[in-house]
Amino acid sequence: MKYVDGFVVAVPAANKEAYREMAAKAAPIFKEFGALRVVECWADDVPDGNVTDFRMAVQAQEDEEVVFSWIEYPSQEVRDAANQKLMSDPRMKALGDEMPFDGKRMIFGGFVPILDE
């Protein structure tokens, strides 16, 4: 069964291109280690909520936009093995050293699809 890692992060609007470039460098590495698909989405229609919303979830500031992304794997086992390889890969370490956003406010998790049409 497929497995999905999901991420939400606040990125300074001025860093949109730097974020896209970082993601474009990371995607082939994820795929090398077994990812089927890497998707990065820049906020376009993200309404403010009364109780919670995407912006609140990542404590986005006025000058920041929300990025919603996911990585699809063929299984949780492939994802777990990929994460082990990613943690020790020097290319990922280099990308981590130049993140154009505050990684401490990223929310993420692994998900088992329950509907995929």
Instruction: Encode pLDDT of 67-84 as tens digits.
Output: 999 999 999 999 999 999
Q: Please report which confidence band the pLDDT of residue 93 belongs to, taking 50, 70 and 90 as the band edges.
A: very high
pLDDT in tens, 25-57: 999 999 999 999 999 999 999 999 999 999 999
Contact 83, 34 (CB under 8 A): no
Segment 5-18 shows an average pLDDT of 98
- What size, in residues, is the chain? 117
Q: What pTM was computed for the model?
A: 0.93
Amino acid 50: pLDDT: 95
62 contact partners, CB below 8 Å, separation of at least 6: none
Complete domains list, the chain, with CATH: 3-111 (3.30.70.100)
